[in-house]
Amino acid sequence: MKTFEPLYSKKLTVYDIPGFKPQLVDAEYLTNLGVQTVPSQETLEALKRGSEVFSKRFNERLLIPRQRYTEDEIDPEAITKEVHNYTGKCPALTWEINPVQGCGVGCQYCLVSDGVHEQELTAHLNYHLYVRRLLEEQNGPDSQNARHYYYFSPKTEAFQEATLHTGIAHRILREFIAHFERNPQSQARLFIASKAGLKHLRIEDEGESILDLFSRLKGRMQFNTSVSIMPDAFRDILEPYAAPLSERMAAVRACRDAGVAANSALVQPIITPWLSDQHIKEFFGMLNDAGIINYKPEFLTACVENLAMLGQYLGVFDKALERQLYDDYLMPSNAAHRKQRGRIAPDKQRSVECLKRLMSYTDTLGMSISICYWVRAQLGISEDMIPIVNRNGFQCLGYQSELFKNV
């Protein structure tokens, strides 16, 4: 078992919020809060379950991941290949790269674990051998030059302490460099979505930093920063070991200085009650200043049980925001608006209204927007509103289709 100090940590954790104690979110709680919607009995039971689990995990101090990991080695031939294509409509077949089980960042809204971080981190030291196998099978000399993205990493943070201090992340990037040296015409493309800050990208292994390796992959990779729209203090609670936004913007600038495509952002999660005109202007002004020209917006999605926790966190800072959060999600008419594993999204009409508000401002900055097929289908978004391939060449998750040019 290896322990480590996080490169970024917050002064305030959920355990240190003055006077905070988990409450039972039930019909009485919602009424006293002033929530206008009347949830179904099934939803109320889920909120109660979530409240009880939250209280138990809070008391046992199991909400934030422990800063430690174990190391192991895998059989590169035995790993089941995973395709990152939930809808069947992604622009190119995308293979997943997930070298760590668990995640040390600890996002309380995590899309993979629903905010549960009790699993011990396990870092696969020789995972790069699987990456080598995958690249050669899918984009080697016998692949007929198929277009493929490789997503590093949808199920964990690509550049966390467990992948950086072990050299795992560096070795994976070196496999891509070696692959392109062996196969100059390969149409493999590396897609990275990450909350990494500049400190993460400067960590060295064998004398090379992540940024050094990025520079050797320019033209064949893109780096998408992952950022959220929410109150700063709320973000500190929800993302306990993530880099602050200023450091993520510094990472974007460093990538761009190295010639790496880093001008698209995954904006996730968006907390709908926080979307005032002023907050939209401040947030996207920051992205614009860092050179971001495209963004993929994703509203907060969560199982109903987890909303009982997230709502209470938000209520620490503003009870009006907590009330609006429940109103945006819990109406019975919204019960079917769900993503993977039953995660509920905001009311459809509210979602469309928020998207239009975002676009009305970002259009003035020349920014384009990417929307995945599932969201288009759920919200009835047409190509007239948002083209599938936008004016800046991005689509779906923010994949840059121009990376396949001139090959």
CATH number at residue 97: 3.80.30.30
Q: What is the pLDDT of residue 88?
A: 66
Q: What is the pLDDT of residue 112?
A: 79
Count of the separate structural domains present in the chain: 1
Secondary structure in 3-state letters for the chain: CEECCCCCCCCCCHHHCCCCCCCCCCHHHHHHHCCCCCCCHHHHHHHHHHHHHHHHHHHCCCCCCCCEEEEECCCCCCCCCCECCCCCCCCCEEEEECCEECCCCCCCCCCCCCCCCCCCEEEECCHHHHHHHHHHHHHCCCCCCCCEEEEECCCCCCCCHHHHCCCHHHHHHHHHHHHHHHCCCCCEEEEEEECCCHHHHCCEECCEEHHHHHHHCCCCEEEEEEEEECCHHHHHHHCCCCCCHHHHHHHHHHHHHCCCECCEEEEEEECHHHCCHHHHHHHHHHHHHCCCCEEEEEECCECHHHHHHHHHHHHHHCHHHHHHHHHHHCCHHHCCCECHHHCECCCHHHHHHHHHHHHHHHHHHCCEECCCHHHHHHHCCCCCCCCCECCCCEECCCEEHHHHCCC
What gap in Å lies between CA 202 and CA 302, rounded to an integer? 33
List, run by run, the mean pLDDT of 10-residue segments along the chain (407 residues).
88 88 97 96 96 96 92 93 76 90 91 78 96 94 84 95 97 98 94 97 98 97 97 92 97 97 97 97 98 96 94 95 96 79 87 95 96 86 88 89 76
Range of the domain at 126: 2-404
Q: What is the pLDDT of residue 146?
A: 85
User: Measuring CA to CA, which residue among 202, 235, 214 is closest to residue 108?
Assistant: 235
pTM of the model: 0.94
The radius of gyration of the chain from alpha carbons, rounded to an integer in Å, stands at 21
User: Measuring CA to CA, which residue among 227, 219, 231, 212 is closest to residue 319?
Assistant: 231
